[in-house]
Structure 1
């Protein structure tokens, strides 16, 4: 089999996961093709919550400011009672930002807007989506993947190093591989629709549950950044809901007891059964599953799109490293790290769904995904006797600092980009040499960044001479001290970086 590759990576599916992976590969100079069998972008807002950890990722990918400008925070929720009274309350726990966690609340950005922003960013980096191109089959061997792609009246054969299934809950890639997708269809059917509507204020989201029956509730809220409302409601398995403007007007009237709420147009609507499923494996040879192809969630908790983006963010730098010569086994850490996260998020979404059925759901810190980490990963190594606040595998917090030149910066600015980052805390000037793909910064006295407000010390609790090696996806890979740099050499080689002794200046 020839290894005349058309691209390094073929990504099937141009939703949020596929687009995020394409952006990450594009900024790393890794060649790819991104195909989707549909003829045009998705028009709905099935996933609209951007959690704080994903906001951090979007900052790194260069799209956060556009996402914030295009959307907004979730409104308060107004729960209407049968007698006409109502109670307003926050839809989630309010947590104030801190220097370590600058993004504190979920953003509401309709999915079609998020994906439009991601496509624009991809175009800035020279990439594009090939719509109307469908994967029809593929074969793997030790050298790569040979795929058949159809579009229009023609079919082409392409040879790539890696194939990525980002093609949703009904993934063709997963089914073609024969990968199991165990789980369950939950005892929950629902309708969701993005509509033009009159008769309700846009200042709050509205929740109606006549006579306190949660099975008959309906939620109608403004979609931030648009003139649309979204309707969400559970429905019985045998209930017939017309997804036209007339049908939804009638449905809303029945659920609210009000006749002056009028749906004028339907931009997108779906009637679906909720599922909770997790793929048996994320990697089969040279093929990987990300996003909904690997896990599907009930919408409670707003975890699906966020978990999908973070899959892509985890896999992107590892694919790049292996393409450039890192050991292939680095890619095994993708499933080892991400599959347990999806399992935990499925459990959280199911618990929130049960609470929602009782009218008691409140989204707290656990949905923000800031506490996700990989402490058990083979890529998480502690090479220091001191016990800092954060072990290897933890998310690297932000911290404002002052540069030696006098300007204020944030640690996230130093981490931003496709590189690894080594932070040496009050360490000797002559300890390290620069290597390709590794940025080195000294923090503390005589360093180029001064911890003027002690935010770095508060977040990391390092001892003088301690060092942090931070992965490209913002997690601490290794904690070590300056007496153990020999041990970190092997770590660097395993992740595709040159050692301190070789190819360094």
Structure 2
């Protein structure tokens, strides 16, 4: 069993044992880095079964509203160098309706815009940062198998390659292990919500959208051929995301990818001779979800990011809300582990409820609206005018006036139990 004997027990809140984070995605690693940079003396162990995969871009854009959180961790300069900033965002009609621009904005140099950075690159940077810290340990090739929550510690069993097992006696366990979270399931937290009425398919392709007048981020509005077309990098890779019936099988989705892309790409993605001018690098179907766990914390075990909540991608708030979860939780844990919290148990409960409400109100609601928006009928000018009149986001983009998104940040100093 791995433990730490370097610290004495302090008023029942900390035993000086390690903090274990299940999941080495962006959220789990960001939480680990913040804890490693803090005054706590606890070791921080990240357990992740899979290495970052360059062929799996997954999340690719980071919203400006979380840039201050990146800056607090000293990450923003390096993230900016690793990725690139979006030059524009727009809403447009489908190819069948001429790809006509409904509303758009081109960003000026220095103006806040999305940071385009594939998830594997972000993960790689964070892994290196955590490993550089004396308190940081990233255990690649390992996963959580079970845990036992005790009064003053939590016993965590992990399994590595070949079935090798270890047990870690920890102060706290945090599950940042994604939508199918083992920690959430073992915690017994009900995943409330629903599966939406369509599957979404993320295809990463090489194609010159700029040549056809497309912006870096394009929300395609159509009842059937809706989706998001966004630049991933400067090497020609783009994400084309679209919807298919929820009943479609994986085989049907893969067989129909070129037929669907022909409806999403200008000129069906072909040249004058009818030859395809695009290359498909990745096809990833997934069910669109709007879900939130009934609680994010029980005893000495918590969850954050996709392990705690899921949303559709059309508002771009999924990863952003997970990063905000981690930022708030790190402050709470530091307050507890440095013996400054007035009521540690109450503080963790308050964090859980505050983050739940933040997701439900500032993430889930705008994301549901964004999902409905891309499926609107805009085949006539009358319908376009109606959208511009009734949709404040599209109207703001059309008039050039900024529309501030709701804050994802929780002011933890206002939580019950802080001090």
Q: Could you say which TM-score interval applies, normalised by the shorter chain?
A: 0.7 to 0.9
Q: What are the superposed Cα offsets for residues 260-301 of structure 1, whole Å, 9 maximum, x if unpaired?
A: 1533241x3311111101111111100011111111111111
Instruction: Provide the residue aligned with 1:399 in structure 2.
Output: none
**Pairing partner for 1:113 from 95, 114, 121:** 121
**Pairing partner for 1:67 from 61, 70, 79:** 79
**Pairing partner for 1:132 from 118, 137, 141:** 141
Structure 1 unmatched runs, 5+: 380-490, 496-505
Report the Cα distance in structure 2 between the residues aligned to 1:287 and 1:375, rounded to whole angstroms: 19
Check conservation: 1:51, 1:367, Cα contact below 8 A.
Answer: no
Report the Cα distance in structure 1 between the residues aligned to 2:138 and 2:306, rounded to whole angstroms: 19
> What RMSD over aligned residues (CA atoms) do the two structures have, in Å?
3.5
Following superposition, the deviation at residue 3 of structure 1 comes to: 7.2
Check conservation: 1:71, 1:110, Cα contact below 8 A.
Answer: no
Instruction: Provide the residue aligned with 2:383 in structure 1.
Output: none
The reply on whether 1:356 has 2:374 as its aligned counterpart is yes
Residues 250-399 of structure 1 mapped to structure 2, 5 A cutoff: 250-256=259-265, 258-260=268-270, 261-266=276-281, 268-327=282-341, 328-329=344-345, 330-344=347-361, 345-358=363-376, 362=393, 368-370=405-407, 372=409, 374=411, 377-378=414-415
**Pairing partner for 2:202 from 180, 192, 209:** 192
The reply on whether 1:34 has 2:67 as its aligned counterpart is no
Q: Give the TM-score taking structure 1 as reference length.
A: 0.65
Report the Cα distance in structure 2 between the residues aligned to 1:87 and 1:232, rounded to whole angstroms: 18
Relative to 1, partners in 2 of residues 1:243 and 1:119: Cα closer, same or farther, differing over 3 Å?
farther
Following superposition, the deviation at residue 200 of structure 1 comes to: 6.1
Check conservation: 1:52, 1:368, Cα contact below 8 A.
Answer: no
Check conservation: 1:163, 1:287, Cα contact below 8 A.
Answer: yes
Larger helix proportion of the pair: 2
Relative to 1, partners in 2 of residues 1:304 and 1:91: Cα closer, same or farther, differing over 3 Å?
farther
Check conservation: 1:74, 1:108, Cα contact below 8 A.
Answer: no
Residues 189-228 of structure 1 mapped to structure 2, 5 A cutoff: 189-197=199-207, 201=211, 204-205=214-215, 213-228=222-237
The reply on whether 1:145 has 2:157 as its aligned counterpart is no
Following superposition, the deviation at residue 91 of structure 1 comes to: 6.2
Q: What are the superposed Cα offsets for residues 358-414 of structure 1, whole Å, 9 maximum, x if unpaired?
A: 1657477677444755599445xxxxxxxxxxxxxxxxxxxxxxxxxxxxxxxxxxx
Relative to 1, partners in 2 of residues 1:269 and 1:258: Cα closer, same or farther, differing over 3 Å?
closer
Higher relative contact order (CA 8 A, sep 6+): 2
- Name which one, 1 or 2, has greater alpha-carbon Rg: 1
Report the Cα distance in structure 2 between the residues aligned to 1:259 and 1:273, rounded to whole angstroms: 26
Check conservation: 1:171, 1:293, Cα contact below 8 A.
Answer: yes
Relative to 1, partners in 2 of residues 1:124 and 1:246: Cα closer, same or farther, differing over 3 Å?
farther
Find the residue that maps to 1:204 and give its secondary structure: coil
